[in-house]
Chain A
Amino acid sequence: MNTKQRNNRFSKKGHPNKSMLKHAFKESFLKLDPRNMIKNPIIFLVEIGFFITFILAIFPDAFGNSNVEYWFNIDVSCILLLTVLFANFAEAIAEGRGKAQADSLKKSKIETMANLIKGLGQIDIVPSTKLKKGDVVLVSQGEIIPGDGEVIEGLASIDESAITGESAPVIKEAGGDFNSVTGGTRVVSDQIKVRISNNPGESFIDQMISLVEGAKRQKTPNEIALNTVLISLTLIFLLVVVTLPFFTNYLGFQLEIPVLISLLVCLIPTTIGGLLSAIGIAGMDRVTQFNVLAMSGKAVEAAGDINTIILDKTGTITYGNRMASSFTPLMEMPKEEFLNWVSLSSLKDETPEGRSVLQLIGQLGGTIDEKDLENAKIFEFKAETRMSGVDLQSGRKIRKGAVDAVKEWVLEQNGTIPANLDSETMVISKEGGTPLALAVDHQIIGLIYLKDTVKPGMKERFEQLRQMGIKTVMCTGDNPLTAATIAREAGVDEFIAECKPEDKIRVIRYEQGQGKLVAMTGDGTNDAPALAQADVGLAMNSGTSSAKEAANMVDLDSNPTKLIEVVAIGKQLLMTRGSLTTFSIANDVAKYFAIIPAMFMEAIPKIKILNLMHLYSPISAILSALIFNAIIIPLLIPLAMKGVTYKPLNSNSLLKRNLLIYGLGGVIVPFIGIKVIDLIVSLFI
């Protein structure tokens, strides 16, 4: 399942291609506009530094007497410009990826002609862009649905591959939970009437385009708070640098303006300042690559904070269809004969239950022989009879189905009911299984134990979630016994049996009342209130439009298990932000030891003892620190895009790991980096 999701058409845009790079390159220059830069005060300060040193490069004495060599001003201004460009590039490339996704979406938004039904059955042909909310259109076989809406009449199979990448058509019909259709999808068979649910420009695809394009991107609460702290640090360092000349002036020596600017730029958190918005955009992007559409960055952030996940049992935790897990013979007969009867009953049964019966026979070592079925009469499973069966050429009759239905059939044949049938049926029911009875002629020969099977790997994932401190709650319509059995098998923390939609809201409210954040999936109209109540509500694209409206995320593949991935992406986004912030701030230690001795060495020669890295000269030390400060931004862009490696561990192990890599690494890496750059720079001085 997972590989299929990853192979959808978005993932091709996952890695930046040439044209995207080119576009980002152009954008990083366009973004130099101060009116735009001021939105990122940290990088804006670097740009001001660039302007000042640029003026000094042309007029060295513009701000008073200066003793620095002219090329030093040029070098510093160039590096500062590069720093700003790199930061812009990081943002542009993240936006570019979103744009590429938006472009491919726009392609699916072909303008079509719609058959607008006016009163009295009159039909007008209008362009799809003219459709308003509430309009009713008729869509026939082969036509493209002109806009998002609900089927109000008819039934049709629809190819939704333009949205989901899934080629198998889906059935949509009026009423019930499968009545919502998406604009841009194609009707493959039959004809439906659709009531349009959005005004022009507000459709699902429109929303999606504006979201992935980043046009409507708003800073998330955590981003705003982090920005506040970063700006405060920037101001502190601005204070340090602005007051420094007063101290040196008292001591009788002057500091050059480009040197002071270099110190400032190195100390302010340019690395995280340059990458912060790219991290946010990339996080949204990763969600989209999973074919999940998040309505806001806030929702993705909230996903990282989730404490409780509410999952439906059927289709999410289990396959939903019931699989044969054992047989109970009710009559004395050889094992081979019994298995032979079972296999005959199921050879022509195409339902998943039938397939699973044959699979079980294979596992039990029974042989499957189709010879006996020659010229047999097949009865397919029907809802009215609740049985399937075969009448063999030899005249023998086999029936398989719901216990009471088979019982009735046997009695009609004047057959007998085994004395232990009821008790054995009870045993299976109590264990949460579904019993099927198997009858041959006028005798019930045994029972087939059907069991709802937990999807492989679910148990491990719930265990991982538990390690991360996330509780899973399973909702099911099953009776408490069945629910308990599945819950135990799947390893969920809690379950709600005989669950009604109101129960979900109740659980969500209860959990939220304890301060927890809750995530859930849903598709039906009756899920809508719960989806709205949840902090992260993931609606299935196949679901009703009211469910999609209530949710803050929509899964285009309609795979409810993805909620777990969404939580992981949210956590990864936050971890990336935290790790790069820590890294950026830890870098200051090395930069201090590069620049401070360089600044004062001339006036106070003995300070060279603080030149821990043995940098070549004051000038080379300053330039090396500045260059390191600049190139670390593009070097970290891939990490910002991809996110730091995410492992589902508990908080302490995660912290230890990330602190070691990004905290300690953040202290050590610049010492090495600056030294290496200095070795190269010294060759040119």
Chain B
Amino acid sequence: MTTSFLAAEPVRAAAGVLQSNAWVLIALPLLGAAVLLLVGRRGNAWGHVLGCATVLAAFGYGLALFASALGDPHPVRDLYLFSWIPVNALQVDFGLRLDPLSLVFVLLITGVGSLIHIYSIGYMAHDQQGRTGGANTERRRFFGYLNLFVAAMLVLVLGNGFVTLYLGWEGVGLASYLLIGFWQRRRTAGAAATKAFVMNRIGDVGLALAIFLLFAKLGTTQYTEVFARADELSSGVLLAITLLLLLGACGKSGQVPLQAWLPDAMEGPTPVSALIHAATMVTAGVYLIARANPLYTLSEGGQLAVTIVGAVTLLVGCVIGCAYDDIKKVLAYSTVSQIGYMILAVGLGPAGYALGIMHLLTHGFFKAGLFLGAGSVMHGMNDEVDMRRYGGLYRYMPITFVTFALGYLALIGFPFLSGYYSKDAIIEAAFGQGSWQGWVFGGAAALGAGLTAFYMTRLVLMTFFGPRRWENLTTADGEKYHPHESPAVMTVPMILLAVGSVGAGAFFTFGERLVGYLTPALGELEEGHAGVLPHVLIPVLTVGLSALGALAAWLFVGRRRVEVARPQRVSPVVRAARADLYGNAINRALVVRPTDGLARGLVTVDSRGVDGAVDGLAGFLGAASHGLRRWQSGFVRSYALSMFTGGVLLVAAMLAVGMP
């Protein structure tokens, strides 16, 4: 099916003024970043305006590009820019792939990106946390990093080969590192930033190996050639490549087993969490798998691994999300879980690529809206994140409440809102797999829907309803809480995102608009096989489970008093969930400690091994080094010895290899 799609949709060269200048999309935010970071204090007064303007302009360009390509009978276009790494054997071109898949990402990144840039003007205006320079200097730096992120993310989705994708992939990693660690005086922020980058690097190693394998087997890494010649790869190589790409996706998208960095990333300012760690960067893994669909379609084993990772992650995210009291961490685990849905969808192969992208887009709206709402709550509550110290806030911040509530309803799949369409489609497709896979993946996805409703209802009840628990409390610096609504510069983006949360799903689904649009890039959407459950039953089941989850939350939280202090006598399940299902502990035990131990051990070998050996063999070498001893005997001996040892080892190795 893939090969036939490629035959039907040949890649053509970009045409027209708009397409041949599409590099402007990337150049605008990149220029913004360069100016903001290099201009110094002079830019403090207008830095935020420039930061917003470049992204808005890129959004405008993206819209024009999108509109002009709508009637194009050949929507898959390649724009060659320059030869990046031109070596005889390895021709890596820098160019752009303009097709429906990259264009929807461009609109998501620049559209949601613009809203969050505007919101940040208000959010970062009075930034007091761990700042080192003046507020305006800090805000300029913030917008510089944010522009850098947008530019790198656009390189990631627009690049026309795996190496360009890797450039953007590492670029967003850098921007994410800078923004998580933005509050430089907070030690925890720096630690979280380092952790995020290093855990991402594990995934990057997978991605890099996949690219090297493609080069070794096909001699190219450009999409057009790789996909056209994918059937030349043996099934073993295909399996290896798809699994390695999946490892890359796990790192960037916070999927099990590389999920632990994403919740820690909430150390960054909230607009960062909304843009990078909810709406765009963390969905790059989904993009990667959807982009590489010609490879995955040829590898059943690769697809199965993707679905398993997605199903496991969506459940892990839900379970942990139920146990946290930190509003941003609940949303972070919710993101982990929702990306699990997307990964599950793209793992279903031609039956799911477009569905995964649809959920990615609707999620981009409502999760960004939820994070901005959480930021607005924190803004009005002295940066408090503990929901046990909230309560009854709907009266004090009505706009935040309404927009947040709409995002919440969209997320739990309330009928006819965005999430209802996109998530339900994934659950149906999962059940549509037939046999045991249908039961397992469909069951996990449906169960996840119920759990999602539980933790999100719990969050909304604890934050906006119930008694005002903050009234008798003070902040860490001893101040009273004075909850208040945020300024318009913050609420307007929230309102716009709420509109998307409500309508995007219906808009995309009506007339199969999105699926049809994406077909040239992702292939025809396959209808599920005879599923294990009748089609009509699935929406009923999903909505029923969600209602059950919401009801349970009301029974546990809404009806009962919420203690300000976190209860300590809890069941082992809750305890495990609070400890991130021991994800960090496992990492520490399996990776960090052994590596550190090995490093220390080698240092001992390095510094003492030579001297120790010298002591032991002093007699042996004594005669040889006698004449030199008058200089600095210890050194001569030890180095002569270590060279001698090295020489012996080398001779041994050469004999071992050289002997037939």
A and B from one complex: no
B residues near A, CB below 8 A? none
A residues near B, CB below 8 A? none
